[in-house]
A = this chain, B = another copy of it.
């Protein structure tokens, strides 16, 4: 090894991700990849006396951010704390001071990416965030550089491993949502408080980042329509299968007529599409470019090792002085108009229960017809003789979301309708 000066690294956060990264940086073979020694100089933690899975050199741990900020021997800081605060404040201070940062923090990047880029630009620092979406799957890099010749029309992704694990279990084993969630928690694929994942917020952050990069604009999390997976039932999977579909939590961003439409919700996907075949905790991102066509990136979307792959990849890029700006950054061309959800045009799947008696189908069909929605199929399922009701599974031809919601309101006003179980969107191949 040549006698290069050591690369000074600071680390914010020593949870499962931070500990994995720290262990890798402390491994003596890591210096080979960097072509110089790597010195982990400071690690910021909340509590100095918490038990640790990784043995750090004396004097490295600190609970005072100033120790990291003011250490002039630190060239690059890795942020693995997660959450908006205090991470945002720390990153802003570091970048403003000229210290480059690698972050895995999807929430901060999704909400404040363009502001952080601006802080970095003004000081000559750099900000990399490959780990914020899709674990170790290279997706930020390809969008920033490799696919830059393309006009990208859509990004469709399965970017939450927790929900994909739950949906895979429900689909393959007929489990109820609650049982699948419990299994995911037992295996560590879901957190004790799973709300952020199962309600779709985690996917919203990641989609905001992907859409901002793909369309060279700024898509904020609150511009992304969001529905989680908690209302899905075993029956939905059974009927979807009969119709030739899988159900996935999709994150979709499309550029339509100069506007952006971004949404996270469960959707029916043709069984033969690549995204329908993504199983368990895996993630996949499909990018549609005008030249390249559809490209799919598939791999483990979470976990300490895959996340460390992305973080250390970013660290290597910064360390070797690849200091020219990436081909495109979030927010580069300024904001685009957001196309409201009511203007979405897609096919729908609706599962309802209604009285099992003559004339019911005509009333239901009229509610759709009144809003010029054309039905693709109506299948009667599971008659409940005692209650005198039957399940109806209805699919539509492409229709406007506004019309569909209006038809749904009309349906709810019908006395023959006993329950609306689920309205799902059908994603065309």
Closest to A311 in B: B149
A344 at the interface (CB under 8 A from B): no
Contacts of A299 in B (CB 8 A): 292-296
A321 at the interface (CB under 8 A from B): yes
B323/A327 in contact, CB under 8 A: no
B150/A142 in contact, CB under 8 A: no
The segment from A255-263, A312-320, A377-385 found at the interface with B is: A312-320
Within 8 A of B (CB), among A275-327: 277, 289-300, 305-306, 308-313, 315-317, 320-325, 327
Q: How far is the CB of A372 from chain B (nearest CB, A)?
A: 37
The quantity of this chain's copies bound in the complex is: 2
Docked Cα-Cα span, A305 to B288, in Å, equals 13
Contacts of A298 in B (CB 8 A): 274, 295-298
Contacts of A325 in B (CB 8 A): 320
B327/A316 in contact, CB under 8 A: yes
Within 8 A of B (CB), among A207-227: none
> Could you say which of B145, B296, B310 contacts A313, with CB atoms under 8 Å apart?
B145
B327/A306 in contact, CB under 8 A: no
B305/A293 in contact, CB under 8 A: yes
A138 at the interface (CB under 8 A from B): yes
B146/A130 in contact, CB under 8 A: yes
Main secondary structure of the interface of A (DSSP, over half): mixed
> Could you say which of B141, B289, B296 contacts A296, with CB atoms under 8 Å apart?
B296
> Could you say which of B135, B142, B148, B293 contacts A33, with CB atoms under 8 Å apart?
B148
A293/B289 in contact, CB under 8 A: no
> Could you say which of B145, B293, B305, B322 contacts A291, with CB atoms under 8 Å apart?
B305
Q: How far is the CB of A266 from chain B (nearest CB, A)?
A: 22
B327/A136 in contact, CB under 8 A: no
B309/A289 in contact, CB under 8 A: yes
Contacts of A137 in B (CB 8 A): 292, 295
Q: How far is the CB of A83 from chain B (nearest CB, A)?
A: 24
Closest to A137 in B: B295
Contacts of A321 in B (CB 8 A): 324
Q: How far is the CB of A318 from chain B (nearest CB, A)?
A: 11
A136/B300 in contact, CB under 8 A: no
A147 at the interface (CB under 8 A from B): yes
Contacts of A149 in B (CB 8 A): 24, 33, 308-313, 315-316
Docked Cα-Cα span, A356 to B292, in Å, equals 53
Q: How far is the CB of A12 from chain B (nearest CB, A)?
A: 19
| CB contact under 8 A between A147 and B291, given known A142-B141, A324-B321 | no
Q: How far is the CB of A156 from chain B (nearest CB, A)?
A: 13
Docked Cα-Cα span, A68 to B311, in Å, equals 42
Docked Cα-Cα span, A297 to B320, in Å, equals 26
Docked Cα-Cα span, A325 to B238, in Å, equals 53
Closest to A142 in B: B138
Docked Cα-Cα span, A298 to B310, in Å, equals 19
Q: How far is the CB of A30 from chain B (nearest CB, A)?
A: 9
Within 8 A of B (CB), among A124-168: 130, 135-138, 141-142, 145-150
Contacts of A309 in B (CB 8 A): 147, 149-150, 289, 291-292
Docked Cα-Cα span, A247 to B12, in Å, equals 48
B305/A292 in contact, CB under 8 A: yes
Contacts of A312 in B (CB 8 A): 149, 291
Q: How far is the CB of A265 from chain B (nearest CB, A)?
A: 24
Q: How far is the CB of A261 from chain B (nearest CB, A)?
A: 23
Docked Cα-Cα span, A294 to B145, in Å, equals 22
| Interface contacts beyond A322-B327, A323-B324: sample of 11 additional A-B pairs, CB < 8 Å, sorted by A | A24-B149, A33-B148, A141-B146, A142-B146, A146-B313, A291-B309, A293-B299, A293-B300, A293-B305, A294-B299, A320-B325
5 examples of A-B residue contacts, CB within 8 angstroms: A136-B293, A138-B146, A149-B311, A291-B308, A293-B305
